[in-house]
Structure 1
């Protein structure tokens, strides 16, 4: 390789500037810590040339990783667990980087404001429809009289009472005389701090929730500190947390979940990263007779999941540019075929066994995805 810039021999020293290990003039890097052997002051040109060289050079880890991942299903995982790791990027960090880029790009095309506007319009339309129905069921006197006579005849009302009941029906507004009387709302009990402290911890949370929710409904107080002061409650972590949850819950209701779903979407790369080890555990049980340990299965999972983000990400970009939605379905089929080939290559089993386990892997994935979605929604309610 031609020596240029900071790599020139005239800039080399006789010891490493990082760790102090003695070096020779022929040493381009320190044999102890790996730092470049140069005394040249860093310039803007050197900085950017080294930056782009590390990305686009022929022996770059990124280049080898992407080529192997895209065009040789299962090979990169197999070689990585066999010890060929210098030329490939770390599968865990590479997955996390690709997933974050995927969700950033995908987030550009998700219109949360449009979703909220659509929900508001539907809610408004629903209210107007209900009002129209109420208006349409208002009856004139002749219709009321027919219904009155039918009710009185069917129920065997005595003649002496018929005129009185008939008049009440005629005075009724619409079908309100058929409505079931609503139960009186249950009165919420307000506890003092001393009473709260005497309640068990888990039961205490429910009592505080009901009380704070009712208080907010009546006062619309959005300051946690002012609310606790008015209620004469301690400003401890539990009280502040519960009242804050009440505020967040009302916020979700008022903006139709827009902020809540944005919160979950922004956390998805880390949520999926957290659940993949459980998926790898299922794969390990499925291939328990094969000579692979848990971490080797996990490497394979991270590589295939990274490929999933790459394929689906490209499909989303093409679909948005071309306004053709079929690319997403094509991308899913491409990835499923890729996964099958990767499983054959990595686990080295025949077509029959691979197909059966391929189907089981997909069933397992959807089960874990369902469980993970529920846990994510529940957990997000407590930390949003």
Structure 2
């Protein structure tokens, strides 16, 4: 006597709706096939109703939550174990490492940018910040363009006269400087040279720009200084205006210098917004950074029978744990008004050591040496990436 299938089914997956071939690819099916083994489409001939959509939504949600809980448990309680299970084929029970890390990174960045006070930096005016940090370009009569160098010379003489009160400088042995007069002469020459250059730029900007454009002699620094000065003076706002008023050519140097100067000025006017926008790019940067850092892990453990992808999954899992701890830190700091990030970094440091020992299976001494080396390389790479990110953001802000 044949036994009837004992599959637990409901909704459009009931046995009475099963077909003998896939409606998508025509692959032959048995009544016990809930899904087509060829294309994975559900084996059901039932017409869709609204209830089916809700049933599948909550079913998938519960299934994802189950994976999420198992992944969190394995990450928090068993360092290194989840990576071993995943690379050995036990993947159904866990969430995808790449997608899981990306989700955590976005959650952390959203929480961080929402809860910080960086936007208050925008309340400081550009003038206040220049007074605190020093002007980025030479100031002439509150921004007015001089017609001659009289004011420049006056400011230079005032600067030199201040040196007369520095009587004790003669007692300080400085190689190459015999007296206070020679020191005044050297400083005065530098001030006059800088003043002369700025006077020329402001008195005849078209001629000045032509001189640095001639045979591409002027680098990005000089061009950015020029565009920044006249953007700050509101004499130009677009690159087309720079072309019409000052004869800027359409070279790539000019365009990059103009855009970089304009973005720099905007970042100075809205530093909080600039920093927040730059931090918002970190999740994408992480996925360029980790594959590079994983090369060092692969080199350090080259004698182990792990592929580069295995090491990359190990990096993803550990970075995911770091974001979980940072999220917990933000929540605790928000509720109790504390600063707990340092404590969670210490927890992660110990966790990473245990994870390396358990996954790679080496002794304490070897693990500690490799731990120190890899963390040092991580710090250098992270610093380099942050510098590149914030510098590059200046040109795109």
- Sort the TM-score into its range (normalised by shorter chain): 0.7 to 0.9
Q: Which residue does the alignment assign to 1:276?
A: 290
Structure 1 unpaired stretches of 5+: 128-149, 155-178
- The answer as to whether partners of 1:6 and 1:40 remain within 8 angstroms in 2 is yes
1:25 alignment partner in structure 2: 31
| SS of residue matched to 1:190 | helix
Q: Take 1:197 and 1:14, find their aligned partners in 2: how far apart are those partners?
A: 76
Partner of 2:324: 310
Of the three residues 41, 48, 66, the one matched with 1:35 is 41
Counterpart CA distance in 1 for 2:316 and 2:64 is 24
The aligned counterpart of 2:258 is 243
1:288 maps to 302
Residue 363 of structure 2 is matched in structure 1 by 350
Find the counterpart in structure 2 of residue 369 from structure 1: 382
Question: Which structure has the bigger radius of gyration?
Answer: 1
Question: How far did residue 106 of structure 1 move?
Answer: 1.9
- State the distance in 2 between where 1:114 and 1:91 align: 36
Aligned length: 333
Aligned match of 1:224? 239
What is the TM-score with the length of structure 2 in the denominator? Answer: 0.73
Map 1:108-257; keep pairs closer than 5 Å.
108-117=114-123, 123=129, 183=192, 184-186=195-197, 187-188=200-201, 190=206, 199-200=215-216, 203=218, 205-206=220-221, 208-233=223-248, 239-255=254-270, 257=271
Q: Is the 8 A contact 1:65 1:89 kept in 2?
A: yes
TM-score by length of 1: 0.75
Q: Which residue is 2:312 aligned to? A: 298
In the alignment, what sits opposite 2:71? 65
Q: 1:383 to 1:243 in 2, by over 3 A?
A: same
Contact 2:18 2:43 in 1 (8 A): yes
Greater shift, 210-219 or 282-291, is seen at: 210-219
1:19, 1:199 → 2: CA distance?
A: 66
Deviation per CA, 1:38-85: give whole Å up to 9, x if none.
Answer: 233444433233223223239944343222222211011112222323
Q: Residue deviations 1:150-170, cap 9 Å, x none?
A: 98xx9xxxxxxxxxxxxxxxx
Displacement of 1:303: 0.5
Q: 1:70 to 1:49 in 2, by over 3 A?
A: farther
Partners of 1:277 and 1:298 within 8 A in 2: yes
Post-superposition offset of 1:34: 0.9
Does the Cα contact within 8 Å between 1:55 and 1:63 map onto a contact in 2? no
**TM-fit CA distance, 1:318:** 1.6
SS at match of 2:280: helix
Structure 2 counterpart of 1:338, from 336, 342, 351: 351
CA separation in 1, counterparts of 2:207 and 2:196? Answer: 19
**Residue 383 of structure 1: aligned partner:** 396
Aligned 8 A contact 1:284 1:294 in 2: yes
1:11/1:40 contact within 8 Å kept? yes
Corresponding residue for 2:177? none
> 2:125·2:269 contact (CA, 8 Å) conserved in 1?
no
Distance 1:11 1:356, change over 3 A: same
- Return the alpha-carbon distance in structure 1 between the equivalents of residues 207 and 306 of structure 2: 59
C-alpha contact 1:252 1:260 (8 A) present in aligned 2: yes
- Distance between the aligned counterparts of 1:191 and 1:29, measured in 2? 76
* Unmatched tracts of structure 2, length 5 or more: 1-6, 134-163, 169-186
Specify the SS of the correspondent of 2:91: coil
Worse overlay, 239-248 or 270-279:
239-248
Aligned residues: CA RMSD: 3.4
